[in-house]
Structure 1
Amino acid sequence: MDIKGAVVLVTGANRGIGAEFVEQLKRRGAAKVYAAARDVGTIEADGVHPLELDVTSAGQIAAAAAAAGDVQVLINNAGISTGTPLVSGDEAMIRREMETNFYGPLLMTRAFAPVLGANGGGAIVNLVSALSWFTTPTGGAYAASKAATWMLTDSTRLELAAQGTHVVGVHMGLVDTDMVKGMDAPKIAPSELANAALDAIESGEAEVLGDDWARFIKSGLALEPMARYEQIFGALGA
């Protein structure tokens, strides 16, 4: 489908990748952009329709679906990373990541699937992560939530095929946003990732591998676990 003339809703639209999605949608001629955030006062983009939305709130999601009944593209971008391990970490933080990173896109998809179907099928974009395929000793909660979102993406792609809804999964390593500002490693620009995702909507691609790291991690999925995590085990002395 074409972005030009489309009506699009972006979650977590007030900063980082979400804010860049908004800018790129405007440049591509989207007819209307719903910029959703928990605090609409933090949305700085001009020419958009601010929408108060906490993706962990079923009530706010239902209200958003009722208010934005013309949406043709849903971009599930909102997400968090708490750096919480699964065994020793705070259970509340683990649940918080699952609520935001998995249940948020799930509930948004459930609420907006009928809207998209009524408007011709449209598309859903889920910002997943290469960490849906790889983890670290201190990042288990994030990786688990993103692994669940990967399967959410595959499952809803199958479930919504009959109504013509195109579902795109976006996997990437580090993106130059506040979430990873303290990390000294190669990062891609938010604009690069947003454009790759929008290109996938227009071309019909089902999956975006946004950088070399995402491509590298996916290439290792066929390896045995001990081989896939060989360097980490070595660093741990295991």
Structure 2
Amino acid sequence: MTTALVTGANRGLGHHFAAELLARGATVYAAAREPASIDLPGARTLALDVTDPEAVAAAAELAGDVDLLVNNAGISTGSPLLGDLDGVRAEMDVNFWGTLSMVRAFAPVLAANGGGTIVNVASALSWFAAPGAGAYAVSKAANWNMSNALRLELAAQRTQVTSVHLGLADTDMARAIDGPKTDPAQVVRTVLDATAQGEIEVVVDAWSAMVKASLAEDPRAFYARFL
């Protein structure tokens, strides 16, 4: 039976990850900064701020039976790179450093439990930048290539590292953004099914697939829509 820890489980994709894992029979540690905000009957709630090294270490000690780590916690401040540096740093602290901190703490746990799996929720914005999302795009680009590097570093202990890429999901984070949005429950089902099949990168929707394919083309054609 799978034992999973999901960060940012109080809302959005994290809530759907935890709920779907529970429905599939997993034991789930549902983690958030404010555990009282987690409404998931059957889950083991856990107070966790991924930017706090002591909290991360405590979580790894408490959840020593985990074999699936879902690094979902993330923020989007809307900060441009030439704007408020506090916003830029905040996004890197959560989306990159927080995720890496979780992996570093839980890698020995996963090794002790047979290798296990790490799911890092990145974005289609790992592969492009858009107005109003400069810091977010940079943090998710770092998150994506972090997954690639960790996959190599953790191969010897047989830990699967899967990177997840999607456009807009119908969650609180995307509430103010216009455009087609994917049902978050479907996103989660797609990711968990692909992860179970051993996929190391999950491209959830057609928009993300188009963006990834555009990397092989002249970037002027892609960025003409923004300039």
**Which bin holds the TM-score, normalised by the shorter protein?**
over 0.9
How many Å apart are 1:223 and its aligned residue?
1.8
TM-score (norm 2): 0.98
How many Å apart are 1:226 and its aligned residue?
1.9
- 1:55-93 CA deviation, whole Å, 9 max, x = no partner? 110110000001011000000000000111101x10000
Question: 1:43-62 maps to which residues of 2 (within 5 A)?
Answer: 43-62=38-57
How many Å apart are 1:198 and its aligned residue?
0.7
Question: 1:35-74 maps to which residues of 2 (within 5 A)?
Answer: 35-74=30-69
The one-letter amino acid paired with 2:48 is L
The one-letter amino acid paired with 1:22 is A
- 1:23-76 CA deviation, whole Å, 9 max, x = no partner? 11011111x100000000001100111010001101100000010110000000
Runs of 5+ in structure 2 lacking a partner?
none
The one-letter amino acid paired with 2:74 is G
1:176 maps to 170
RMSD (Å) for aligned C-alpha atoms: 0.8
- 1:138-188 CA deviation, whole Å, 9 max, x = no partner? 211000000000011100011101100011000000000011112221000
The one-letter amino acid paired with 2:171 is T
1:236 maps to none
Runs of 5+ in structure 1 lacking a partner?
234-238
Distance (Å, rounded) in 2 between the aligned partners of 1:181 and 1:53:
25
The one-letter amino acid paired with 2:85 is E
Question: 1:110-149 maps to which residues of 2 (within 5 A)?
Answer: 110-149=104-143
1:15 maps to 11
How many Å apart are 1:227 and its aligned residue?
2.4
Question: 1:184-199 maps to which residues of 2 (within 5 A)?
Answer: 184-199=178-193
Distance (Å, rounded) in 2 between the aligned partners of 1:97 and 1:173:
18
Alignment match of 1:226 (pick from 193, 196, 220): 220
Distance (Å, rounded) in 1 between the aligned partners of 2:213 and 2:183:
23
Counterpart of 2:142 in 1: which secondary structure?
helix
The one-letter amino acid paired with 1:86 is L
Indicate the larger mover: 97-106 or 175-184. Answer: 175-184
Identity of aligned residues (%): 54
Distance (Å, rounded) in 1 between the aligned partners of 2:153 and 2:214:
28
Counterpart of 2:225 in 1: which secondary structure?
helix
Counterpart of 2:19 in 1: which secondary structure?
helix
Determine if contact 1:168/1:200 at 8 Å carries over to the other structure: no
Counterpart of 2:128 in 1: which secondary structure?
coil
Counterpart of 1:232 in 2: which secondary structure?
coil
TM-score (norm 1): 0.94
